Structure 1
């Protein structure tokens, strides 16, 4: 088999110095700046901009109204209408989580409890929001619809410990979700 050597094209003097690329970039930037000052910047109307650019002014203006239907936000835990845990500690969400952001410690329901047929509920449930990639796999795999992604993008904390949401915080954020929960079904 014949080997063909391909010669790399030689750079001209302008390409070696790259001064032309700098000048071209400068004129492009100045063109955008002049359009912005005239109030003719592209996209300023759709982003409700201040008129001096297409950047949304974040604390005063938010994406809440323009949020797409398919947006996946922060994962949370929900309770049923009576305030009971929907989670059965099956640990499917923990096993399927690609970045391993979910940690569950199952706990047993006491034998004298009316719902001891359920067998388990989460003793500890933590989601590390720094590790979470908001993929939605935990929501898809949950058999009891106990975990879901809400449309939230304002997850902040002053230290790493603030970004690890425990069971209490997850239930506080998630709230109540209405619908049939198989584990609390009398006929099951």
Structure 2
């Protein structure tokens, strides 16, 4: 009884979410993100090591070879199709540990709710970081230079 009486005297720890949000712990792993290099190329080389390391088998990677005309990653291959089924993911972080280029990371964004099951299959476009602004302008200027070349 004494223990219960002490607990009743403490301040309440209720957080009124979503008006106030608690700071997540530093090592929290939730939202998957595919990283890019500073020049805008994707870090993912399509090796499928993340899919092999996943105990829930929720990652699907289909790779294709890079061409000189359209280069997506610095390696000889890139991930043509990259999907994560978030309904099966257990957020263990094994995919992040297995990636040799550091392409996939788990961030602390935890608001992943949605209303339909198909929306929980994250495609490559949903996972990729936005293009860096300076890299986008470099690619545009290169494309303009190639178009004006005789």
What TM-score comes out, normalization by structure 2 length?
0.75
Instruction: Determine which of 28, 39, 52 is the counterpart of 1:71.
Output: 28
Partner of 2:16: 57
More strand, by proportion: 2
Q: Does 1:154 align with 2:115?
A: no
Summarize deviations over 1:87-134 as a string: whole Å, max 9, x none.
000100001101011001111112555789722101100011111111
Does 2:48 match 1:83?
Answer: no
Distance 2:27 2:62 in 1: 31
C-alpha distance in structure 2 between counterparts of 1:96 and 1:115, whole Å? 24
- Match of 2:127, SS state, is helix
When residues 115 and 104 of structure 1 are mapped into structure 2, their CA distance, relative to the original with a 3 A threshold, is closer
The 1:116/1:99 distance shift into structure 2, 3 A limit, reads closer
The 3 A distance-change label for structure 1 pair 138 and 176 is farther
Which residues of structure 1 form unaligned runs of 5+? 1-27, 50-55, 178-188
The correspondence for 1:136, drawn from 90, 93, 97, is 93
Q: Is the 8 A contact 1:79 1:86 kept in 2?
A: yes
| Larger relative contact order (CA 8 Å, sep ≥ 6) | 2
Residues in 2 aligned to 1:79 and 1:92: alpha-carbon distance in whole angstroms: 18
Q: Which of 122, 130, 143 is 2:79 aligned to?
A: 122
The alpha-carbon distance between structure 1 residues 115 and 78, as it changes in their structure 2 partners (threshold 3 A), is closer
CA RMSD of aligned residues (A): 2.5
Cα distance change of structure 1 residues 156 and 92 upon mapping to structure 2, 3 Å threshold: same
Task: Determine the structure 2 residue equivalent to 1:52.
Answer: none
Name the TM-score, length of structure 1 as normaliser: 0.60
The alpha-carbon deviation at position 160 of structure 1 amounts to 0.8
